Amino acid sequence: STKLMEGKRGLIMGLANDKSIAWGIARQCADAGAELAFSYQGEALKKRVMPLAESLGSDMVLECDVASEESLDALFAALEARWGRLDFIVHAIGFSDKNELRGRYVDTSRSNFLMSMDISVFSFTAAVQRAARLMTEGGSALTLTYYGAERVMPHYNVMGIAKAALEASVRYMAEDLGKDGIRVNAISAGPIKTLAASGIGDFRYILKWNELNSPLRRNVTQDEVGKSALYLLSDLGSAVTGEVHHVDAGYHSVGMKAVDAPDI
Ligand code: NAD
């Protein structure tokens, strides 16, 4: 029997270390037989990303700062030279000054607002623009978002506004590219302790809150996000596009948790 992702080639953007959500997704895709390339930001991450990629049988590890059009062009030129065709792309990238991931949203600065939107929103569009040209037999693009796009969450602030825009961009690109057989989706992941998450104020409290208040009464793992990503990236999700899929132990569905009601 052939594996789900056999013969499929995909780019994973945003692997920083073995705690990254990108790592959970990459592992599931590789287990299912996909051939992977990785892009990372900055020379410092290279020594961390190389061995992880190698452990999944990939020798395509490319530097790319998504703030730079030239850097994105170089990444996709390298992919085109090596592979020609591309089947899927995972965008697991977000960034904001951590000084603005605490306190009030209303105090956010113009410069960090623009930078957060550039790195966390436009970079997905910029990557999809280039990936779509290589998806000559259709394809699937996936990004990562968070519930802070839909509802106010403590400290998420400007990232909530960025994720709302990112989710809207998923819907617009799904429409634009649907006729080419290219699907565009997002996973809205529950909180997971990663490098990026550690920049958010009171993150440990947010984790605990989700654990206590989600229907499954627990948090989610990188591998669980990976399994849902596999569904969206593979033929299992062939009719799914423009979707924001929650992988959050059900937290998004709850208005108020049932408790032993006090006498009132
Ligand atoms: P992470 O720190 O492992 O990954 C973030 C990645 O973004 C890093 O690899 C970093 O190098 C990359 N990045 C930042 N600026 C970049 C730039 N200019 N160019 C290229 N890459 C850049 O953390 P993570 O939690 O795995 O984050 C991945 C995605 O998942 C993010 O979009 C994040 O918002 C989202 N997400 C995370 C959680 C969570 O609780 N951890 C929940 C929901 C959504």
In this prediction, residues 217-233 reach a mean pLDDT of: 98
Looking at residue 118, which CATH number applies to its domain? 3.40.50.720
> Is residue 264 in a domain?
no
d(CA 205, CA 203) in angstroms, rounded, equals 5
> Is residue 61 in a domain?
yes
Q: Which atom of ligand 1 is nearest to the CA of 120?
A: 32
d(CA 154, CA 201) in angstroms, rounded, equals 8
Distance (angstroms) between ligand 1 centre and the Cα of 20 equals 7
Q: How many domains does the chain have?
A: 1
pTM above 0.90, yes or no: yes
Banded model confidence at residue 132, pLDDT cuts 50, 70, 90: very high
Instruction: Print the domain residue range for 59.
Output: 9-250
DSSP letters, 167-227, are: HHHHHHHHHHHHTTTEEEEEEEEPP---TTGGGSTTHHHHHHHHHHHSTTSS---HHHHHH
Predicted ipTM beyond 0.90:
yes
d(CA 62, CA 76) in angstroms, rounded, equals 10
Q: Which atom of ligand 1 is nearest to the CA of 42?
A: 11
State pLDDT tens for residues 60-98: 999 999 999 999 999 999 999 999 999 999 999 999 999
Could you tell me if the CB of 41 is within 6 A of ligand 1? yes
> Is residue 243 in a domain?
yes
State pLDDT tens for residues 158-209: 999 999 999 999 999 999 999 999 999 999 999 999 999 998 989 999 999 9
> Which residue's CA is minimally distant from atom 34 of ligand 1?
94
Could you tell me if the CB of 195 is within 6 A of ligand 1? yes
In this prediction, residues 128-146 reach a mean pLDDT of: 98
> Is residue 141 in a domain?
yes
State pLDDT tens for residues 42-53: 999 999 999 999
d(CA 141, CA 188) in angstroms, rounded, equals 14
